[in-house]
Amino acid sequence: MTGLSKRITIKRIAVAIDCSPHSRASLSAAAEIAGFFNAELLGIFVEDINLIRTAELPFSQEIHLHTAQFEPLDSLKLERMLKQQAKEAYELFKQTAERFDIPHTFRTLRGRVLAEVLSAALESDLLAMGRSGKTPLCRRGLGSTAKKAVRESKTHILLTRSGPTPVSPLLVVYDGSPGAKHALEAALGLARRDAALHVFLVANNVQKHAALQKEAEMIIAKMIVKKQFHMLPWTDSGMLAQCIHMAEPGLLVLSDNMAALGPETVYRLIDATDYPVLLVRHAT
């Protein structure tokens, strides 16, 4: 994500790291953005208090994923494992930050994962995390922590997935609302000049579509050459997800403060799509 302009201001990026493939991807993406904005990177590793407590219970047993056998949960072993994971997360974080030559801080916290992440992210302008964590079984859509973070986070949130993450094309859902404008500006801020941009104009008639396109074009101005406007008469997350899938975006930029789409629709849309998402908060 090099070649960014500075339409949005980011001084500090918090990255939740659990060493899962998704969180590694989010660390890379966050480091790249931090490098462009000269922002500081804050790495967060949370030792799940619920897991620790479970291990301390007298009857605690874990069911092995691949053998379906029961085995007592050993708290000491678990503590060692968490420490090892924290160390691993720190090494990964440090190497990544140094590669991009950015100031960085790493924190190992203990508590409820979501609460600790959100709390730490309050001091940052952007929270980066994986779409799902170290869940033993893969699932479609967002993981439970990411799902809650989308709803409860006060900062911009960047959700990434493992695997290659092409930056282009960017896709913005635009309905003319302040949140949508903010999202479009954020997308422009993150885009290279040669990147392609798809703008989904949520309009139920041609006139509105034309008006929205005119607005969007004014915002985009000459920042991006390859841009395409698409008229979307639907506002439900299912149809929108299908349309987004057809465009195969490298990054989906959304706001949860749109007029045409309510926040829940946006959250469902994020859950339904399997692409990196930048959710732009209007408050910041």
What is the contact surface with other proteins in residues (CB under 8 A)? 48-51, 53-65, 68, 70-71, 73, 78, 81, 112, 134-140
Question: CB of 135: closest distance to other proteins in angstroms?
Answer: 6
Scan for tokens 């949005």, then name that residue: 8
Q: How far is CA 245 from the centre of its chain?
A: 17
Nearer to other proteins, 149 or 187 (CB): 149
Whole-number minimum distance, CB 111 to other proteins, in Å? 10
SS3 for 183?
Answer: helix
| Nearest CB to other proteins, comparing residues 77 and 193 | 77
Report in angstroms how near the CB of residue 164 gets to other proteins at its nearest: 15
Nearer to other proteins, 2 or 136 (CB): 136
- Evaluate whether 185 touches 152 at the Cβ level (below 8 Å): no
For the stretch 146-149, contacts whose Cβ atoms lie closer than 8 Å and that sit 24 or more positions apart, written own/partner, are 147/267, 147/271, 148/114, 149/114, 149/117, 149/118
Q: Is 210 exposed, middle or buried (0-12, 13-18, 19+ CB in 10 A)?
A: middle
- Per DSSP, the three-state class of 217 is helix
Of 139 and 222, nearer to other proteins (C-beta) is 139
| Minimum CB distance to other proteins smaller for 54 or for 119 | 54
**Smallest gap from residue 65 Cβ to other proteins (A):** 4
Tell me, what DSSP letter sits at residue 90? H
- Minimum distance from CB of 136 to other proteins (Å)? 6
* HSE (side-chain half, CA atoms, 13 Å) at 58: 0
How far is 75 from 81, CA to CA, in rounded Å? 10
What's the CA gap between 44 and 16, in Å, rounded?
A: 5
Q: Between 54 and 168, name the residue whose CB sits nearer to other proteins.
A: 54
Polymer length in residues for the chain: 284
Are 270 and 142 contacting, i.e. CB atoms less than 8 angstroms apart? yes
Q: Which of 147, 106, 113, 136 is nearest to 20 (CA)?
A: 136
Q: At its nearest, how many Å lie between other proteins and the CB of residue 4?
A: 31
Q: Taking the complex as a whole, how short is the minimal distance between the CB of residue 22 and other proteins, in angstroms?
A: 14
**Is the Cβ of residue 65 or residue 206 nearer to other proteins in the bound state?**
65
